[in-house]
């Protein structure tokens, strides 16, 4: 059966775990050759191996996505290994929790670098290749945290809002060159919660987070991968500059309590 991305070449940053790994696997299953780029060389290599074992094509590279030389090398790897670059998924991002007035400049700069500067770099190095090809798609991972505030996440809120508006400008600048640029805004996604919090606290966190979503649960990485694959494919051919929310309904809510009588 024909895949949605047959013959395409894609890069996935932070492709070693969570949303990135699920998307790398899905891209490959849809026929794309995938460069899996991650801060953890071990995780990148593991996802590459899984794709190869399933009969797909992939390469792995260890990178810090906030490092210009690393993103340049990743783009070069796509060209050298697979001959072109059709899909750039700028997915790296990180949060550090602290109140704004207690946030150190180092912490602020780290979150902005890994979350927003990495997206800028992905665009900076992918766009010239795509302009020369006269085709290409960029998808950036933003967040609903880029559309609203969260307690203790000021640097992340600012960085993800930056990703959303950078997406719009990149879409405008490149629309006439056959390049589409969009972002996805996930709600709470069930990624490495257990590794970060430990099993007991992770279960509690999943329950609390799940209950905050009208759908009643957190999202799964594969659900975001499905949205990203749609944006990467020709099925979204008239969509550019958009922020696609995939959040189980959480941003549909004003935050007002349930009205008496509304069962």
Q: List active site positions.
A: 156
Q: Which is nearer to ligand NAD, 7 or 216 (CB)?
A: 216
**Please, what is the minimum distance in Å from the beta carbon of residue 262 to ligand NAD?**
28
Cβ closest to ligand NAD, residue 141 vs residue 236: 141
Please name the helix (run of DSSP H) or strand (run of DSSP E) that holds residue 58, with its range, or none.
strand 57-62
Output the smallest distance, CB 245 to ligand NAD, in A.
11
Q: Residue 82 or 205: which CB sits closer to ligand NAD? A: 205
Q: Is 245 in the site for ligand NAD (CB under 6 A)?
A: no
| Selected binder of ligand NAD within 38, 153, 179, 248 (CB under 6 A) | 38
The backbone torsions φ and ψ at residue 158, rounded to the nearest 5 degrees and listed phi first, read -65, -45
Q: In what order do the strands lie in the sheet with 243-246?
A: 57-62, 33-38, 9-13, 87-90, 136-141, 179-186, 243-246
189 binds ligand NAD (CB under 6 A): yes
Closest CB to ligand NAD among residues 131, 150? 150
Asked whether position 174 contacts ligand NAD by CB under 6 A, the answer is: no
Question: Which of 143, 155, 167, 182 contacts ligand NAD by CB under 6 A?
Answer: 143
Q: Does 248 bind ligand NAD (CB under 6 A)?
A: no
Residue 82, CB-side half-sphere exposure with 13 Å CA sphere: 25
For 154, 160, 224, 254, the CA distances from 104, given in Å and listed in that order, are 12, 19, 32, 32
Distance CA 191, CA 81 (A): 29
Segment near ligand NAD (CB under 6 A), from 26-34, 64-72, 200-208, 225-233? 64-72
User: Closest separation between CB of residue 162 and ligand NAD, Å?
Assistant: 12
The percent helix, strand, coil of the chain (3-state, each to 5) is 50, 15, 30
Q: Which residue of 24, 71, 85, 92 would you call a contact of ligand NAD, by CB under 6 A? A: 92
Question: How far is Cα 99 from Cα 5, in angstroms, rounded to an integer?
Answer: 42
Distance CA 253, CA 24 (A): 32
Report the alpha-carbon distance of residue 37 to residue 32 in Å, rounded: 15
Binding piece for ligand NAD, criterion CB under 6 A, among 89-97, 100-108, 122-130, 168-176: 89-97
Give the binding-site size for ligand NAD (rule: CB under 6 A): 28
Considering only CA atoms, which of 73, 72, 83 is closest in space to residue 32? 83
Any contact of residue 65 with ligand NAD (CB under 6 A)? Answer: yes
- Are the C-beta atoms of residues 22 and 221 closer than 8 Å to each other? yes
In the range 200-219, which residues lie near ligand NAD by CB under 6 A?
Answer: none
Q: Which of 11, 19, 71, 75: binder of ligand NAD (CB under 6 A)?
A: 19
Binding site residues, ligand NAD, CB under 6 A: 13-14, 16-20, 38-40, 43, 63-66, 91-94, 114, 141, 143, 186, 188-189, 191-192, 221
């Amino acid at each position: 059966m024909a895949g949605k991305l047959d013959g395409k070449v894609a890069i996935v940053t932070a492709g070693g775990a969570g949303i990135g790994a699920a998307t790398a696997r899905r891209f490959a299953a849809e026929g794309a050759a995938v460069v899996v780029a991650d801060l953890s060389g071990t995780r990148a290599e593991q996802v590459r191996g899984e794709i190869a074992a399933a009969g797909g094509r992939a390469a792995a590279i260890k990178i810090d996505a906030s490092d210009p030389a690393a993103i340049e090398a990743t783009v070069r790897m796509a060209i050298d290994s697979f001959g072109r670059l059709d899909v750039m998924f700028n997915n790296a991002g990180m949060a550090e929790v602290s109140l704004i007035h207690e946030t150190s400049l180092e912490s602020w700069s780290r979150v902005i670098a890994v979350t927003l500067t990495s997206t800028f770099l992905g665009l900076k190095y992918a766009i010239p290749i795509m302009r020369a090809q006269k085709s290409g798609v960029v998808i950036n991972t933003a967040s609903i945290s880029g559309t609203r505030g969260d307690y203790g996440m000021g640097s992340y809120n600012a960085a993800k809002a930056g990703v959303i508006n950078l997406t719009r400008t990149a879409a405008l600048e490149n629309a006439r060159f056959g390049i589409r640029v969009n972002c996805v805004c996930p709600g709470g996604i069930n990624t490495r919660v257990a590794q970060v919090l430990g099993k007991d606290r992770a279960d509690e966190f999943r329950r609390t987070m799940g209950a905050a979503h009208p759908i009643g649960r957190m999202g799964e990485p594969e659900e975001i991968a499905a949205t990203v694959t749609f944006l990467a494919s020709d099925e979204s051919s008239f969509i550019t500059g958009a922020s696609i929310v995939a959040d189980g309904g959480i941003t549909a809510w004003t935050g007002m309590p349930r009205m008496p009588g509304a069962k």
